[in-house]
Amino acid sequence: MSQPRATKVLVIGYVWPEPRSSAAGGHMMQILETFLEQGWDITFSSPAGTGEHRADLAALGIREVPIELNNSSFDSFISQLAPDVVLFDRFMMEEQFGWRVEQQCPDALRVLETSDLQSLRDARHLRLKERLKASDDADDFSELFAKALRAEFEFMAGTDLAKREIAAIYRCDLNLMISDVEIELLVEQFKVPRNLLHGCPLMVDLPSAPPAAFEERAHFLSIGNFRHAPNWDAVLWMKTTLWPLIREQLPSAQLHIYGAYTPPKATALHNAAQGFHVMNWAEDALQVMSAARVCLAPLRFGAGIKGKLVDAMLCGTPNVTTPIGAEAMHGDEPWPGAVTRTAQAFADNAVQLYKDKTRWLDAQAQGLQLLASRYQRTRHGPALIARINECRLHLSSIRRDNFTGSMLRHHQHKSTQYMSQWIEAKNRLIT
């Protein structure tokens, strides 16, 4: 008897995944590894250039195929590939290639990996800019952090980015959501049908070895891709406000800041005399995290859940963050460190965690418990596979019941199709 054909998956990436540079890259690799465990046949394509820290997908048995925007060569490529599942990595890829996928492979399940809600992150960034423009006070952001989902909706609803992003969510058969807060925002405020969404947080294996001891660790650490605007804002806030407050209490304290794609404006902040060290990219993020005593993540805006904080838990490193940093990450469970709303509270808790071994050990244990309860790969990986298989089985009824998505595909894809074809024709004339 012949073996059944392996499920074919095409992933259309916004970028080539860089798991050591960003949480988005790490999450994509976790999804790909989950597919590989099923024996699925995976092709990864992207119109982006190759980054210096990209993962070696070919070594994992994943085909790598560069593709072009606004080029009908993609039609021939996907028609020949004939995937069963197409995963768009972020909504911009669905906008660019969704209509081509529907034309060439109408029976393929279309899945969107949202990574986080970009429109929510951008709306929060705009709010922060307004707050900073209205007041010189860089300490208290309690009001900014206290916004309810309704207020988030009201700020987002008028933006073009939210309309584009949520339209892409409707057009797909299934959407992977990393944050349960964002699921509730979409369902309760934007009225997106819950059955179009699937909670898929960061998926990790629990550490097998005990973490480094309190006495073996030194210094504060902050880490994050410098191309990600919330991380750069956090570095600036540390430099101007938070780190001076910490050094008032710990004059010999040292802060090591790591991040991929460090720009000159970041290296210019390096000041050894102040204990403020900009260290560039970490070859092994878990190694430097394991050597630090406390992780600092002072995020004033953002969305999704934070890979750096999951890494901190994996390494047994307590952290200090804000409500934005901790959002959707711990439910009703205690936070492995401290969640603060003001600069002074942030500094005070950072110092206390650094000095108080008993509190530090409690936070470390809470982090390991949180990993076990919310982030285990052995739980979320099978749930993702089961949901995809269920959607493939009931694809016709999912699309029938999602009339709004069908309507949006009809109108948006026509306009995108004609614009893309016009750009392609123009490019041919130029060349």
CA–CA distances in Å: residue 22 to residues 3, 77, 189, 211, 223: 38, 29, 29, 23, 10
Tell me whether residue 220 is in a domain: yes
Q: Which domain holds residue 100?
A: 8-119+150-203+378-430
306 and 162 in a common domain: no
Tokens (6 digits) for 259: 């991040």
**Same domain as 370, residue 229:** yes
Does residue 159 sit in the same domain as residue 73?
A: yes
- Last residue within a domain, chosen from 335, 357, 375: 375
Domain boundary among the residues 348, 375, 402 is at: 375
Distance in angstroms (rounded) separating the CA atoms of residues 156 and 148: 13
366 and 220 share one domain: yes
From first to last of the 431 residues of the chain, give the pLDDT tens digit.
556 789 999 999 999 999 888 889 999 999 999 999 999 999 999 999 987 789 999 999 999 999 999 999 999 999 999 999 999 999 999 999 999 999 999 999 999 999 999 999 999 999 999 999 988 787 888 888 877 888 899 999 999 999 999 999 999 999 999 999 999 999 999 999 999 999 999 999 999 999 999 999 999 999 999 999 999 999 999 999 999 999 999 999 999 999 989 999 999 999 999 999 999 888 899 999 999 999 999 999 999 999 999 999 999 999 999 999 999 999 999 999 999 999 999 999 999 999 999 999 999 999 999 999 999 999 999 999 999 999 999 999 999 999 999 999 887 655 556 556 656 665 666 66
Contact 90, 115 (CB under 8 A): yes
Based on the fold, state whether residues 185 and 277 are members of the same structural domain. Answer: no
In a shared domain, residues 194 and 260:
no
Residue pair 189/153 in contact (Cβ under 8 Å)? The answer is yes
Question: Does 359 lie in the same domain as 247?
Answer: yes
Is 58 buried (19+), middle (13-18) or exposed (0-12) by CB count in 10 A? Answer: exposed
Residues 162 and 231 in one domain: no
307 and 424 share a domain? no
- 189 and 232 in one domain? no
Q: What is the CATH number of the domain that holds 259?
A: 3.40.50.2000
Model pTM score: 0.93
User: How many structural domains does the chain have?
Assistant: 2
For residue 21, being part of any structural domain is answered with yes
Are 12 and 66 members of one domain? yes
Same domain, 251 and 329: yes
